[in-house]
A = this chain, B = another copy of it.
Amino acid sequence: MNRKPHVAVVGATGAVGVEMIKTLERRNFQMASLTLLASARSAGKKLKFHGDEIAIKELGGNSFQGIDIALFSAGGNISKEFAPVAASAGCIVIDNSSAFRMESSVPLVIPEINAVDISMHKGIIANPNCTTAITLMALYPLHQAFHVKRIFASSYQAVSGTGAKAIEELERQVGQIVGGRPVTKEVYPHQIAFNVLPHVDSFLPSGYTKEEMKMENEGRKIMHHPAFRASVTCVRVPVYRAHSVAVSAEFAKPVTVDSARAVLSGAPGLDLVDDPEKKEYPMPLYTAERDNCQVGRIRQDCALENGLCFWVSGDQLLKGAALNAVQIAEELVK
């Protein structure tokens, strides 16, 4: 693009939408205008952007006239309905839902890994799953150096990954428990306060959840590595913000802790936080609201020949969603 783009955020009041707006502001993304779109329920509300108040408009079929780039984060159904409408109007959609990620005509992009894929877009570019994105920020540099064959991973996922209502649910349940009142459930099928739920997204016939299989499916596409295998258990934990993942990774080439640290300490968008003796390792409380993901607990895997264990943590509203989407937009205007 050789002029400043007109930008829209679809789902402007959601947990990710709010972060998209903040991230555009914080990174001083140069644009001609910002349009905020949401459901009729939110239309008319105003949000601040660079000191101005912008009124939210109701999303509709004509919302994308004159828009160059639209960041979507309003759920898969809204994306399925409106992303093709926006693309037909000449707008480039960066979609945070899972609706188009595995379509062969849609690039699925983490700019630090496969920015090269962006140019192949036909109007829609997909943002990856949050847990996948955070894991790949550490795994991909290791893959480049040592060629990953497969991983075994378990996630510790924050409630904000489910959205703003889930943040309220954890707060409400904690208040109910502290106050000695009965616990009510609206978002999750079971109490999340002081509990963990081995259930993120819906179940497939295989017994894995959709969320769990995103690591393998999206990982293959993003890393251009069709033989990559990933066995994952995704678990919701009573943390407000930032996901963490414990990973055992098997590589084709020999790998040592020192060689892995050397690779990871130079990786873009990633901080090495790995000094256990000083009690320094990544934790969601301290990766929340940070752009960079953090990796630590790096050790030679004791059950694999060429294996490494590591622990990665990152803000799933930022690198796992809003930041990655804005980074794709930045690539588009470069």
Contact = CB atoms under 8 A, between A and B. Distances in A.
A207 B300 contact: yes
A194 to B, nearest CB: 5
Interface of A (DSSP majority class): mixed
Interface residues of A, number: 56
A203 to B, nearest CB: 4
A58 interface: no
Interface stretch (A10-18, A94-102, A130-138, A227-235): A227-235
Q: How many copies does the complex hold?
A: 2
A329 interface: no
Contact of A174 (B174, B196, B239): B174
Contacts of A41: none
A210 to B, nearest CB: 12
Contacts of A124: none
Given A178-B178, A190-B279, A301 B248 contact: no
Contacts of A304: 231
A233 B206 contact: no
A299 B237 contact: no
A195 B213 CA distance: 25
